[in-house]
Amino acid sequence: METFFAASLNNQAIELERVGNYVGAEAKHLEALHLKILGSGEYSIHVAITRNGLGELYIKMGKLDEAQEQLEKAIALLITDSENLERDDFDTACSRDNMGRVFEMRGDFEKAIAWRTKGAPNHMICSHFDVRYPSLLLPVGKPV
């Protein structure tokens, strides 16, 4: 039951983050993390996904040490989970890419590339998910 309530808190955190209330988002993510640990244990995929979300938030806040800590924990959990369950590695790729963002922001481009390409060639993502493509919304054949 805790995991169900925690998912709602994560959604609230995402909404607060979207409107720029990073402190409020952090509080919601931390509350969700606590509930997920209570409900499914420290070593669950639910905890890993929340740690990744918290890491993404810390990146936006410029708290790179905190982001790295959360992302390292998420990646460790996701790698273990994917080895045990033979599931798709999308969540792991997201966390590795976020770790690449941390190192990119620190100016360590070699480590950024190393983190982003660990899942090559099949389990990588592009971290430019915040980029808006208004031209994709235009009808086909219309000039931009």
Spatial distance between the Cα atoms of 94 and 81, rounded to a whole number of angstroms? 15
Exposure on the CB side of residue 71, measured as CA atoms within 13 A: 25
Check residues 112 and 87 and name the one with the higher pLDDT: 112
Q: What per-residue confidence (pLDDT) applies to 1?
A: 67
pLDDT interval class at 136 (50, 70, 90): very low
φ, ψ for residue 108, nearest 5 deg: -95, 80
* Helix, strand and coil in the chain, % to nearest 5: 70, 0, 30
Per-residue pLDDT tens digits for 60-82: 999 999 999 999 999 988 877 54
Question: Domain 2-129, what architecture?
Answer: Alpha Horseshoe (1.25)
Q: Give CA–CA dist 74/43, Å, rounded.
A: 9
pLDDT attached to residue 128: 59
What mean pLDDT do residues 99-111 have? 95
10 Å CB burial of residue 12 (0-12, 13-18, 19+) is: middle
* pLDDT greater at residue 131 or residue 98: 98
Query: 53-68: b or e for each residue (b if 16 or more CB lie within 10 Å)?
Result: bbbbbbbeeebbebbb
Query: Quick check: 129 pLDDT over 90?
Result: no
Q: What is the pLDDT of residue 70?
A: 97
What value does the mean pLDDT take over residues 6-35?
96
Average pLDDT over the chain, rounded to an integer: 84
Domain ranges of the chain: 2-129
Which of 96, 30, 92 lies closest to 57, judged by CA?
30
pLDDT of residue 138: 45
In 3D space, the residue among 96, 89, 98 whose CA is nearest the CA of residue 60 turns out to be 98
What does DSSP assign to residue 139?
A: P
Q: State how far the Cα of 86 lies from the Cα of 108, in Å rounded to an integer.
A: 32
Model confidence, pTM? 0.81
